Amino acid sequence: MHNESSPPSVATDGAPAAVSHPKTIKSFVLRAGRTTSGQAKAFETLGPQFLLPYRAAPLDLDAAFGRSAPNILEIGFGMGEATASIAALLPEKNFLCCEVHQPGVGALLKRIGEQGQTNIRICSHDAVEVIDHMLPLASLDGIHVFFPDPWHKKKHNKRRLLQAPLVAKLAARLKPGGYLHCATDWQNYAEQMLEVLGAEPLLKNTAADYAPKPDYRPLTKFENRGIKLGHGVWDLVFTRV
């Protein structure tokens, strides 16, 4: 999730240092930021229960959550505000959340502790590798990708997360009838998402083009500020056929 308050680290050539010359698409850009004392305490006290270590082996989701329930994957949750809100609103669902930004991971752990939530697990690792190695085919009931980095310069568009190869992997990990919900505040990226998702044979659009914002997705502070400035937000909801 992109955040105007935490810009990407930048290499001398003007490209983000974490992916200056990527050979494969990654789901993240390492960002600057310090973990607060409260977040550090959350890592120490809550990490053992809610952090899932990355392993290149299929993940038993029932064992990870201690129950059998619909499983939702979230890719990139920023500081975790929306994630915690959605998980609280939908306690009957499990949320497996991938984020590499450590202050964001700490912030979500802190929210989990403050709100007494039990239906969130965090894998602080590149989501693409988690998908490739930990998530079996047809294992997910839903996938959320909210406000991924837009890479708004045309020469950087190829670095965008939602491109055909990854979309095919995501679709294959959805159960029949499962959904993929994406949201962006960058119109050009919304148009690309619509094209790429629409071209994936395993997916079907739930709307003619863009979908109404589902009730479970809260408006973030960043989004509210953008709306007041006249910026658009686009939601796309596709289901696995």
Catalytic residue, chosen from 126, 149, 185, 235, is 149
Is 210's pLDDT higher than 50?
yes
Residue 162 has pLDDT above 60, yes or no: yes
Q: Tell me which residue of 54, 30, 20, 11 sits closest to 156, measured CA to CA.
A: 20
Q: What is the pTM of this model?
A: 0.84
Mean pLDDT confidence for 133-141: 98
Q: What is the pLDDT of residues 20-36, one digit of tens each?
A: 334 444 444 444 457 78
Write out pLDDT tens, residues 104-136: 999 999 999 999 999 999 999 999 999 999 999
Q: What is the pLDDT of residue 9?
A: 35
pLDDT for the residue 218: 94
Compute the distance between CA of residue 109 and CA of residue 80 in angstroms, rounded to an integer. 9
Active site annotation includes 215:
no
pLDDT above 70 for 87: yes
